[in-house]
């Protein structure tokens, strides 16, 4: 993928659309408790809702220790700023991918744009896009939205974009592996094959990382994801 700039906007090229799947759209609800999606007549928990509800005690303690260390008010400010930056970065990428010129000249907009550019510069293996912001659901058990589905190095791939405050080790992004697995399972059931996952991360300091899930790793996390789902539906 290549970035092209004119006087008022940026766009990207060197890819093509193949809208081979008629992806459904599910309305997301963030205003009435944990996030859900309206799938038919049912409110289905999101992938992130299930992950949050079933996180390990070790992870909960680690997050609590971080909040206590930096201070709860500062921790909330950091979280809010990261969420704002991530939302804008995703919006930039979504517009570019949909071939809509977009340029936010604010300070925050500039940082998020450069993060988006760093991700695009490292997606040379992405040549075909099936869908952007794709809603997926699995048997009314879970639902969610993945950033891209397409052919990455010739393989049907689920792709998620992430922002980060700092460099990540693979063990720190395990929840992202679960997300990819959940989306892959839903896509395979409703639409077609997925044999690869890609987590593309850019830090606020413009350090790019990618974590690829080959078919073996994907199947491993698909099995582990079903265990998380089972745990969620057994919660009181």
The model's pTM is 0.91
CB-based contacts of 195, cutoff 8 Å, min separation 6? 155, 156, 157, 214, 215, 218
Look at residue 99 and give its three-state secondary structure. coil
Q: Phi and psi dihedrals of 147, rounded to 5?
A: -70, -40
Which pLDDT score, from 0 to 100, does residue 133 have? 96
Contact of 201 with 86, CB cutoff 8 Å:
no
Candidate from 22-26, 37-41, 57-61, 121-125 with smallest mean pLDDT: 57-61
Res. 14 pLDDT band, cuts 50 70 90:
confident
Note the maximum CA span of the chain: 56
Domain boundaries defined on the chain: 2-233
| pLDDT of amino acid 4 | 77
**159 versus 71: which is more confidently predicted?**
159
pLDDT given for residue 89 in this prediction: 92
Strands 208-213 and 196-203: what pairing? antiparallel
Q: Which residues sit opposite 145 in a β-bridge?
A: 135
Per-residue confidence band for 17, with pLDDT thresholds at 50, 70 and 90: very high
The segment with the largest mean pLDDT, out of 10-24, 61-75, 90-104, 176-190, is: 176-190
Domain boundaries 2-233, CATH class: alpha beta
Share of the chain above pLDDT 90, in %: 67
Residue that wins the pLDDT comparison between 169 and 160: 160
Average per-residue pLDDT in the chain? 91
């Amino acid at each position: 993928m290549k970035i092209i700039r004119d006087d008022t906007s940026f766009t990207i090229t060197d890819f093509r659309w193949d809208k081979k799947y008629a992806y459904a759209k599910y309305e997301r609800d963030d205003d009435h408790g944990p996030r859900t999606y309206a799938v038919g007549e049912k409110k289905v928990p999101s992938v992130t809702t299930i992950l949050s509800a079933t996180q390990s005690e070790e992870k909960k303690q680690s997050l609590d220790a971080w909040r206590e260390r930096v201070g709860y008010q500062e921790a909330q400010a950091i979280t809010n700023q990261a969420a704002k930056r991530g939302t804008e970065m995703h919006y930039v990428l979504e517009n570019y991918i949909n071939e809509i010129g977009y340029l936010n000249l604010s300070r925050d907009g500039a940082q998020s744009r450069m993060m988006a550019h760093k991700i695009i510069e490292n997606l040379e293996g992405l040549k075909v896009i099936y869908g952007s912001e794709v809603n997926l659901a699995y048997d009314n058990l879970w639902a969610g939205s993945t950033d891209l589905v397409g052919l990455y190095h010739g393989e049907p791939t689920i792709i998620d974009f992430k922002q980060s405050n700092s460099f990540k080790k693979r063990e720190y992004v395990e929840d992202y592996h679960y997300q990819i697995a959940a989306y892959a399972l839903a896509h395979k059931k409703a639409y077609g094959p997925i044999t690869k996952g890609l987590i593309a991360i850019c830090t606020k300091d413009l350090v790019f990382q990618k974590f690829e899930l080959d078919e073996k790793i994907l199947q491993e996390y698909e099995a582990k994801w079903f265990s998380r789902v089972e745990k969620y539906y057994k919660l009181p």
